[in-house]
Amino acid sequence: MGHRKRALFTFHSHGIPKRSGVEISLLSALNLNGTCCNLFYLLFVITFSSFIQDKEEKIARVIGDRSTSDVVVRLRTPEGRDDWLYCHSEILVKDCKYFADRLSENWPTCQILDSRNCVDIYCQELNFDYHVNLIRLLYIVIDGSVDDLWHGVRNALGILQVAVELGCPQIINACVNYLEAVTWEEAEEEEILKIVPRMGLQAEPILARLQPVKQSAIINIFVSTIRFATSSPSPNMSDLKSSAQEQLEYMLTEDDDAPLLTADDNIKLEVKACVNRLFSRFIDSLTAFFNGTRESLSEAGNIQLFQSYLTDLSWACQILSKLEIMREFVEYWFDASEKIVKVLEQGSSTTEVIEIKLRAVEVTSKVLEAIGYGTVILPTAKRLHVLKLWLPFVRVTKPLIDSVTMNCENAMLLKLDGEMWQSLESTFVSIILALPSGDQAEILTEWLDNEYMQYPDLTEAFEVWCYRSKVAKRRLSLIGDEHGMTNSF
C-alpha cells in the first residue's frame, strides 16, 4: 500500500522506461489473472508511455540545437535572405502536414546536408517572423494551459496565415480560439476582414462578432434604446443617454451603408409613443413654470430639468424627421408655443436661462423647417400665428446670445451652429412667402419698423413681395382675360 503514492514509471536519462517496484508488483498480480489482464496492462503501459514520451520530447528538444538536430529548415525571401533553423524531424512532422510530406520517404527532392535533411520554405519578408514563430510553436505543447503565446492580434493573425499555408491544425485551432476571444483595435479588425474570409470554415469562428444580426434582434435593441433615450434619466446618466441617442440616429442614417433598421408601422408607433411621453413631461414642467413666479425658471434644479427636456426634444425631432412622422410633434409644439414663449420671456438674463432659450430656438427651427418646406401642412392661420410668436422671440434672442457668447467664459455652451441660424432665416423667408400677400405685408412692415431687423434678414422676402405686388394686377388680368375670370383688385 505504501507504493501507491509513487509514480508507476521511472526513466533513465536517455528516456527508456524501466519498471518500478509497483510495476513489477502489478505485473505479478496481473499474470495471476490471465491473458485478459495482461492485455489491459499492456494497453495502459503503451498509452501512458506515449503521453509521457511526447511531453518529454517536446521539452527536451530545443530549436537551434545542432547537436541533436537532424533537419535544417531554410527560410528564404525574394530579397535574398536565407536563414537556417536547426530542427528535429520528429517535432516538425507531428503537427505540420507540410513538413510531414517533405520529410517523408516519398518526397523525391529531399536533400542531404552534412547528414541532415534540408527543407526550403520561401516566404515574403513581411511574413518572415511569422514563419519563425510558427516553427517555435511546434516545439511547445499547445494544450490550452498557456494562453500568452501570441503577443497580440497582429502576430496571431500572421501565424494563423502561415499555419493554414503549411497545414498545422493544432496551431490553427489555437490561433482561432485566441482571435475569437480577444478584443480588436479598428485597424486590426480591418486586417482580419481582409485575411480571414479566405481561410474557409476552419477560421469562421473568428468572424462571429461581425456577422449580420437578425432583424428581430435589431428591433428589440432599437425599442429598448429609444425607451431609455426618451426616459429623462437622472443627470448622472446623461452620458449614457447621449450615447444611446447617437446610436439611434446612426441606426437610421443612410451613409455608405443602408440604415440598420427599416422602420415599419409598429416601430413608428413605438417612437411616437416614447416622444409623446417625453413631451408630456416637458409640458408638465412648462405648466409649473407658467403658473409660478418670475424666479422659478432661474432656480438651478428647474434650469437643468427644463434644459434637459429641450435638448432631448431637439434630438427627438431628428429621429421623427428620419422616420417621416413629424406631424404630431409639430402640432404639439404649435399648441404649446404661446406658453413656451411667455415662460422664456419671464426668465432672467443669466447665462443658464439664455442657454435654455437657445435650446428652444433649436427645437423651433426644426419645427418651422417641417412647416416651411411642406413636410407638415398647416392651415394659413396656424402658419401666420406661429410666425407672429417665434419671429419676434428669435429676433430678440439672437443678439442676446451673441453678446453672451462674446463676453462669457462659458461661451462654448451657447454656440449654435452657424448653419442653423442661416437655415432658420431661410425657413422664415419660405414660410412668409407662402402666406397671402396681405399677411406678408403685415409681417414685413413690422420687420422694417423693428430695431432688430438685422436678424432674421427678410430682404429676400421683401424683394419677392415687391415684385409680386407690382405685377399682380397685370398677371392676374391676363389670366382673367384668357379664362374669363374676374378679380377684385
Nearest-angstrom CA–CA distance, 19 and 15: 13
Q: Which helix (H) or strand (E) holds 466?
A: helix 459-483
Mean pLDDT for the chain overall: 82
pLDDT digits (tens, 9 = 90+) for 360-386: 999 999 999 999 999 999 999 999 999
pLDDT digits (tens, 9 = 90+) for 101-133: 888 877 765 555 554 688 889 999 999 999 999
Confidence at residue 92, expressed as pLDDT on a 0 to 100 scale: 92
Confidence at residue 457, expressed as pLDDT on a 0 to 100 scale: 95
Confidence at residue 25, expressed as pLDDT on a 0 to 100 scale: 45
Report the DSSP beta bridge partners of residue 120: 74
Q: Say if pTM beats, i.e. exceeds, 0.85.
A: no
pLDDT digits (tens, 9 = 90+) for 331-351: 999 999 999 999 888 876 778
Query: Who has greater pLDDT, 16 or 131?
Result: 131
pLDDT digits (tens, 9 = 90+) for 155-211: 999 999 999 999 999 999 999 999 999 999 999 999 999 999 998 888 999 999 999
pLDDT digits (tens, 9 = 90+) for 132-146: 999 999 988 665 555
pLDDT digits (tens, 9 = 90+) for 288-328: 877 765 555 556 567 888 889 999 999 999 999 999 999 99
Contact call for residues 20 and 10 (beta carbons, < 8 A): yes
Q: Which helix (H) or strand (E) holds 356?
A: helix 351-372
One-letter identity of residue 304: Q
Owner of C-alpha cell 530579397: 79
What whole-number percentage of the chain has pLDDT above 70?
76
Window from 275-284, 393-402, 411-420, 448-457 with minimum mean pLDDT: 411-420
Confidence at residue 401, expressed as pLDDT on a 0 to 100 scale: 86
Contact call for residues 15 and 56 (beta carbons, < 8 A): yes
pLDDT digits (tens, 9 = 90+) for 226-251: 999 999 988 899 999 999 999 999 99
Average pLDDT in the 436-456 region?
93
DSSP line for 23-84: HHHHHHHHHHT-HHHHHHHHHHHHHHHHHHHHHHHHHH--TT-TTT--EEEEEE-TTS-EEE
Asked if pLDDT for residue 253 goes beyond 70, the answer is: yes
Confidence at residue 117, expressed as pLDDT on a 0 to 100 scale: 80
Asked if pLDDT for residue 460 goes beyond 70, the answer is: yes
Asked if pLDDT for residue 392 goes beyond 50, the answer is: yes
Confidence at residue 187, expressed as pLDDT on a 0 to 100 scale: 93
**Which of the four pLDDT bands, split at 50, 70 and 90, describes residue 354?**
confident
Average pLDDT in the 382-408 region?
87
Nearest-angstrom CA–CA distance, 166 and 127: 13
Asked if pLDDT for residue 412 goes beyond 60, the answer is: no
